[in-house]
């Protein structure tokens, strides 16, 4: 199974790299294109908007095709627009190219989630989905620091050239290593979209949009939290980010294992409880450097551990429209990103310390936890264990 999942892992690695590498290269890009850093921040927002728009649209209008062909087309778009990112001459052109570079992001993970679930044995589906998202976590703690370093040493444009190369490698892996599967959809877009009318689907997407906002409220401000509250020098931040990424890598597989061993909804609830506690500990204990480092790893681990269980739930809810369901999940993750970053910044506007971002995060995760509890009570057929669900 590992060989079959590897192309999806590589695609996740490429996509995770392009999403996060610009954050470390933002000052370089701003200087090169002669804009301010806040203006350069629009490139991040433009990419995120592309993810939200592209996730459902590209999946919906390509659903008649076999999944392997869809993934190859998505990676082709990824390669073209990341390659163009390396040569765009000004703010406007780079802004548009980053939007188009974001289009295949959510669609790739949406289709990839459905593929991973369908090529895995019934009791290994959570681990297969985690295997795909492992690429995203590896990007955070290994590839992003490496490509950022190269971008600093040579040019930020070379960094996007490397990302395009990663996309090409991923295309080759998908072409030669991914099994051929029939289309998961009947190709009727309006029919597939009907799953959004189901309260169960809207509930799951709401859990993600609110609960995962807590992760982004903490992670969006981790750098100033560590320098201003934990009093680490700025030179330590890259290593702290690697620590957080390592936690995400471990948590990704922990969540996949738990989703296969127990009811996915129960696994999500257990992990969210621990995440709330961890974020509260960040709020109270971040002034202690040792504890702060431990909590960085733990919060990274718990933030990523819910991904596999919650993706299994949306696939169950979407049924025959599982690719589209998983794609909407990616859109919900990016909504969570916006909500978390925005709400996490409100205490800062009122002069409070950076530890308050984790308090906001704990409140958001608690909101997701409450919704998840209601979900378990209201939608009992969807909270069965993998073994129970496969029987019915």
Kindly indicate the confidence band of residue 184, based on its pLDDT and cuts at 50, 70 and 90: low
DSSP H stretches of helix in the chain: 2-33, 37-62, 67-85, 91-119, 125-138, 144-153, 156-177, 189-192, 199-211, 213-219, 222-224, 237-261, 264-285, 289-305, 307-318, 322-349, 356-378, 386-391
Whether the per-residue pLDDT at 171 is higher than 90: the answer is yes
pLDDT of residue 187: 55
Nearest to 222 by CA among 124, 152, 107, 140: 140
**Could you give the C-alpha distances from 375 to 82, 277, 314, 352, 368, in angstroms and in order?**
39, 21, 12, 35, 10
pLDDT of residue 77: 94
Tokens of residue 131, six digits? 């295997």
The CA distance from 72 to 273, in Å, is 39
pLDDT of residue 197: 76
pLDDT of residue 40: 75
- The alpha-carbon radius of gyration of the chain (Å, integer) is 20
The CA distance from 334 to 328, in Å, is 10
| Arithmetic mean of pLDDT, 324-348 | 82
pLDDT digits (tens, 9 = 90+) for 261-293: 888 889 999 999 999 999 999 999 999 999 999
Task: Please tell me which of 84-88, 110-114, 222-226 the model is most confident about, judged by mean pLDDT.
Answer: 84-88
Q: What angle do CA 37, 39, 43 make, to 5 degrees?
A: 100
pLDDT digits (tens, 9 = 90+) for 20-65: 787 667 778 888 888 876 677 778 778 888 888 887 788 777 777 8
The CA distance from 216 to 219, in Å, is 5
């Amino acid at each position: 199974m590992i060989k079959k999942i590897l192309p999806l892992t590589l695609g996740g690695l490429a996509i995770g790299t392009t999403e996060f590498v610009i954050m470390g290269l933002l000052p370089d890009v701003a200087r090169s294109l002669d804009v301010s850093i806040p203006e350069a921040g629009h490139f991040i927002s433009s990419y995120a908007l592309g993810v939200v728009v592209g996730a459902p649209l590209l999946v919906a209008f390509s659903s008649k095709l076999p999944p392997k062909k869809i993934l190859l087309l998505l990676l082709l778009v990824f390669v073209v627009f990341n390659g163009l990112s390396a040569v765009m001459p000004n703010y406007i052109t780079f802004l548009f190219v980053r939007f188009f570079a974001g289009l295949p992001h959510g669609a790739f993970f949406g289709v990839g989630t459905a593929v991973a679930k369908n090529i895995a044995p019934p009791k290994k589906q959570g681990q297969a989905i985690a295997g795909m998202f492992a690429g995203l976590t590896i990007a955070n703690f290994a590839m992003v620091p490496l490509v950022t370093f190269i971008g600093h040493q040579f040019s930020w444009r070379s960094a996007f050239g490397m990302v395009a190369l990663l996309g090409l490698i991923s295309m080759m892996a998908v072409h030669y290593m991914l099994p051929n599967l029939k289309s998961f959809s009947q190709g009727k877009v309006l029919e597939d979209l009907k799953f959004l009318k189901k309260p169960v689907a809207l509930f799951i997407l709401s859990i993600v949009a609110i609960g995962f906002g807590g992760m982004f409220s903490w992670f969006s401000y981790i750098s100033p939290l560590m320098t201003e509250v934990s009093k680490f020098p700025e030179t330590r931040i890259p290593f702290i980010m690697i620590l957080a990424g390592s936690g995400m890598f471990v948590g990704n597989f922990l969540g996949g294992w738990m989703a296969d061993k127990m009811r996915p909804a129960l696994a999500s609830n257990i992990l969210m409880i621990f995440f709330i506690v961890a974020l509260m500990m960040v709020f109270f204990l971040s002034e202690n450097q040792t504890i702060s480092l431990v909590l960085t790893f733990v919060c990274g681990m718990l933030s990523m551990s819910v991904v596999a269980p919650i993706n299994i739930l949306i696939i169950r809810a979407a049924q025959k429209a599982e690719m589209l369901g998983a794609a909407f999940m990616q859109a919900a993750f990016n909504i969570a990103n916006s909500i978390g970053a925005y709400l996490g910044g409100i205490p800062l506007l009122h002069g409070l310390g950076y530890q308050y971002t984790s308090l906001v995060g704990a409140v958001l995760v608690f909101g997701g936890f409450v919704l998840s509890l209601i979900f378990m009570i209201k939608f009992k057929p969807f909270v069965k264990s993998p073994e129970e669900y496969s029987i019915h």
